[in-house]
A and B are shown apart, each in its own frame.
Chain A
């Protein structure tokens, strides 16, 4: 009996200790975010982007967008990418061995012809299939279409890094809607910094489901009916407004969303481009670039632009949602494992002592702790050890904390970008804040556990498929 209670006591201590650490870190991050947000809004309230936008001496940027079987929307998506207001940029579409008629559609829509194109094969990639295409119509001179053998997203991005002749590259998902002023806002931190090198900048991802999109323009922002998508909207808001803002202030960003990130091409090439062996290539390259800069003892930062510049479609079925999160989990595990040298290593300063441990504990280990906690709880129930009032009051506390955190996020959004301005939207978001911990969180937890399981026991798992419904249908 004595031994059992000692075990129970120490397990209690571990689980509650973990929970308290998580809550504390969230509160600290939220406070830092609040200060940084106020600061950012003040500094940017009077920045004039129109001057840099028209300047032909502004640095050149390549948008690199890999596409795999995107035939449904590819023509429309490319049009949206071509309508950016930045002057000095090109758009490189990498058709990564699509089995559908993506290429034929592009050729027909943009009057493409095959050309001989100089490519510096610095990074090893899968070879070209049909070749490189450019438009005969001067209105589309910014467009370069590459048709290559299938090699996965990282391989396609590496091809883009090889073919681009520009100083900066924006790596994006082809179905992302980039707002017209997105490139000049993203390039700003690179040009503004004088005492440290900006190696990459990440943007905010917003969810475009049910939004009205026409000719590559976001016309009308709506909230979708599907509760799973609404839960994701809130999740994204929380992650970007309260999480990444703080990490950017601490210069500890470990991940830039694969949907929209801008990189200094030279450094991306020096570290060897994207890793084709991981499913988390977007996180992995940032960690590797940071590690490279730390090892060179150079002053650097990974910037973050909180303006909602990139809108994308989120999965609206549980099956696809789970497979997406499963992939994210595996990506995180692979990246942290590959770079375990930096973890808790004082040589890597904040990267090793703060960012890595945070990701390790609260992204990598958290779902496992949660599931173990649940199992432990069930065992206690089974053995009649549960003190119910004790358990319930903790559960209520955790739930309320979650809800409060979401509501603070919604308030932050109202005070900054105020995108969900229509009548009734506020109420919808609040309702989601209350239901999300009960309805959505268990699914996220399940996906994370499945990701862990697949990583360790199911190595041959294939890429999760993302079926697109077409953003423009409204």
Chain B
């Protein structure tokens, strides 16, 4: 059972990683928590689910989920963030909270509150390796997460766009003086973050073969914990903390009891905040301005 639980934990952790990275990108540039990301994850899942149900191939569904969530994120940036940029940090955060409630309502009204279920054939093939049963979708989820984290890390650390993003994160005004369009990059950061949340939503919907309008809240909160534990200043932190939290959560349910699951996960987050506020892979205090 232990090995099977580790596989369960790694799959769950992969989803947490993608979502944590999505939170981290906006947090890194703007220093605010985009609370609508959990619902962008859900909306992305619904877009992908709808395309799969309409017999589009998996890559189209993934791209559709990414595009749908990215567009929704850009709308949030234009309406819910940009006009409030000069206000205290809490104002745009509350605005994104409003968007999250709106998105959940839109999903409930459009797709209904009942879980949508994919036909059995989408559950995918199962592979048995000794005591472990691994589904095809589990392998896709873990593989896609590693590829996407690597791509994001490469984009942020090695490309011109990434350098510009880091410049904006370091000092918005100075970057503008150096010719970087901070507004355009902020929009790009929202879109990138939305696309990541969207792909996570499609993957989780396909993995479980079901989706509901309420799946964003629980997973979104765990992803915030993953971001904090991994460290908001380092992309690889999410890749370490996601599977760590996924495995801790699953093993807690298996060996400690479901009732203490959230106590352990969020207790761990509080412990990290107390002992190492910058997170496991976060930089030293002097690096904290540079979050991306």
A and B interact physically: no
